[in-house]
Amino acid sequence: MAERYYTVTWDQLHRDAKALSWRLMSLGPWAGIVAITRGGLIPAAIIARELDCRLVESVSVVTYDEEKRGDPVVTKYPTAAGDGRGFLLVDDLVDTGTTARVIRKLLPHAHFATIYAKPAGKDIVDTFITEVSQDTWILFPWDTEPQFVPPMARKA
């Protein structure tokens, strides 16, 4: 597992998605948005609202089988987006770039935007908000839940 963890709250995710929207606004107008499932669904919804974009498509690429990384397989194609011309491609994070490279081949003319980017994949993305180190595991709000944590003094 990762050496570092970066916990993202719902409020922070919303602020970061709005910041990304602000950067993307001057690059449009957009014919539509393609959300990369599953992590890109919520940021894409926020960005679609902020950019007043009604056409939201999705693409799904599976790279994990249980906890083992495998070859990427496209399980849902973004048919409405054609070659991506005029479309905004949205994900929560680009990590190693494995998924991003597959989708770039499907939508070579789309503008690729993520909220977070790691060094190994950031060259594939056109616009992002925050860079995090490669050894950081981002804990998104849909992957976590609030729970009691004992005071540090009790753990010592």
DSSP-based three-state secondary structure for 146? coil
Name the residue type at position 2.
Answer: A
Domains and CATH numbers, the chain: 4-130 (3.40.50.2020)
Residue 74 near residue 45 (C-beta atoms within 8 A) = no
- Choice among 95, 123, 126, 143 that is catalytic: 95
pTM of the model: 0.87
**92 catalytic per annotation:** yes
Q: Where do the DSSP E strands lie in the chain?
A: 4-7, 32-37, 56-65, 68-76, 87-94, 111-117, 127-131, 136-139
- The answer to whether residues 44 and 31 touch, using CB atoms and an 8 Å cutoff, is no
Over residues 88-110, the mean pLDDT reads: 95
Residue 110 per-residue DSSP state: S
* Rounded CA separation 93/100 (Å): 10
The per-residue pLDDT for 1 is 55
Q: What is the rounded distance in angstroms from the CA atom of residue 125 to the CA atom of residue 107?
A: 13
Predicted confidence at residue 67, as pLDDT, reads 62
Amino acid in the structure at residue 114: T
Judge whether residue 10 has pLDDT over 90: yes
Average pLDDT along the chain: 92
Catalytic residue among 91, 123, 126, 135: 91
The catalytic position among 16, 71, 83, 92 is 92
